[in-house]
Amino acid sequence: MNKPKQASDATPALRGKLPRTVVVLGLVSFFNDFASEIVIPLIPILLATVLAAGPVALGLIEGVANAVASLLTLWSGRHSDVMSGRRKGLAVMGYTLSNCTRPLLGLAGSWPMVLVLRSIDRVGKGLRSAPRDALVADATPPHMRGYAFGFHRALDNGGAVAGSLAAAAALTWSGLSLTEVILWSAIPGFVAVLLLGFGVKEEKAAVVPVPIALPPLRWSALSLPMRRYLLVLMLFTFARASETFILLLGHQLGVGVVELLLLWSALNLAKATTSTWGGQLADRAGRGVLMLIGWTAFALSFLLLGLVTDSTGLWVVSIFYGLCMGMSEGAERAIISDYADPGERGTAFGWYHLVIGIAAIPAGLLFGSIWHFQSAAMAFFFAGGLAAFSALLLRWWAWPVR
């Protein structure tokens, strides 16, 4: 079957430029994460102070929220394939739901209410993630997909930098309360929805035709290399505890709220700095190589976090973690598009997010429980050791094709 031309996106791609669709989707993620990261870094602080909840509650909230998102992505990705690659509507719906719900977290009066609102926010993520990733893959030629996903992750992380800096500035100089700062996050979220609605156009020529009946939605229908890769990713998810635990560690060490927001900003700036370059390097040197570097660095970072005793150490390790993880973010998703047929990219990204989500609840609860019943150090040591084992499995059992 001849691959369809991608109209206006084809010429820039041949010149080594990213397609317009990828650039606009990157800006959508920038403004969405701008809105999100005004709110998310404040959740562990809100739980630990105002709502008197600890690491187990944080682990449950983040685990359930991420699982809800991931469980929906298989349906949304599959549905975008059934719709012959028309994915924009689901993405718009998902971004709109999240950005209508997230500001309400500022009004939550208990941790169960935070759980409910955070989960609804993640329903939006579940609706948009697989169709959006498939849109990026649809618009980009195979030899540039590491670059495209790396660029997308760079703008995503850049939005996180802007959001946490805006929250820190507002709390320091504006006199706004936590609740008011969270409510103001609705503005950049609205910009993200407008950009997607009016800036991304699905051209008829870019839509990939699919058969009337897609192959059965079974795990066994996936190729053996993809199944191995997804299983290793699932194991790594048990190690990849929510990064908000880094903020909780800082709070436990006595770091102030504004400094924690600046730390969060610095961590995401470090990821944004290396994401695009890492994606380009993955296209040249191999995506498995970049994944191995990122996972090994994750293991080392979490082992070091278990040894941190002061603010300086927390800053150094967090920035190192961000620089190394940013390098591998584009490669992780580009590998999924390598394994998927053009007419099934939405479904493939749905499986990717689903597998990660299946592990999200037990991963968050496990990390939080080890922290609560043993210590923060033991929780980080456990995650670091499991990440190192996952890296070994990736290299010797599930090495990617590119």
Give the start-to-end residue ranges of the domains of the chain: 19-199+219-397
pLDDT of the residue at 207: 46
- b/e sequence 345-374, b meaning 16+ C-beta within 10 Å: bbbbbbbbbbbbbebbbebbbbbbbbbeee
Fold of domain 19-199+219-397: Growth Hormone; Chain: A; (1.20.1250)
Check residue 212 and give its pLDDT: 44
The pLDDT value given to residue 319: 92
pLDDT at residue 299, rounded to an integer = 92
**Alpha carbon distance 135, 148 (integer Å):** 11
pTM, full prediction: 0.70
185 Cβ neighbours under 8 A, 6+ residues apart: 35, 36, 38, 39, 102, 103, 163
> What pLDDT is recorded for position 95?
93
Residue with structure tokens 């980080």? 380
Task: Identify the pLDDT of residue 388.
Answer: 93
pLDDT in tens, the chain (402 residues): 334 444 444 444 444 688 888 999 999 999 999 998 888 777 777 776 666 666 777 777 777 777 777 677 777 877 777 776 578 888 899 999 999 988 888 787 777 888 888 888 888 888 888 888 888 888 888 888 888 888 888 898 888 888 888 888 888 888 787 778 888 889 999 999 999 988 887 654 344 454 445 556 677 777 788 888 889 888 888 887 767 788 888 988 888 878 888 888 898 889 888 888 888 888 887 888 888 888 899 899 999 999 998 999 999 999 999 898 888 877 877 888 777 776 677 777 788 878 877 777 788 778 888 988 888 899 999 999 999 999 999 888 978 766
Hey, how many other C-beta atoms are within 10 angstroms of the C-beta on 30? 25
Cβ contacts of residue 309 below 8 Å, gap of 6+? 253
Closest C-alpha to 74, from 149, 136, 140, 131:
131
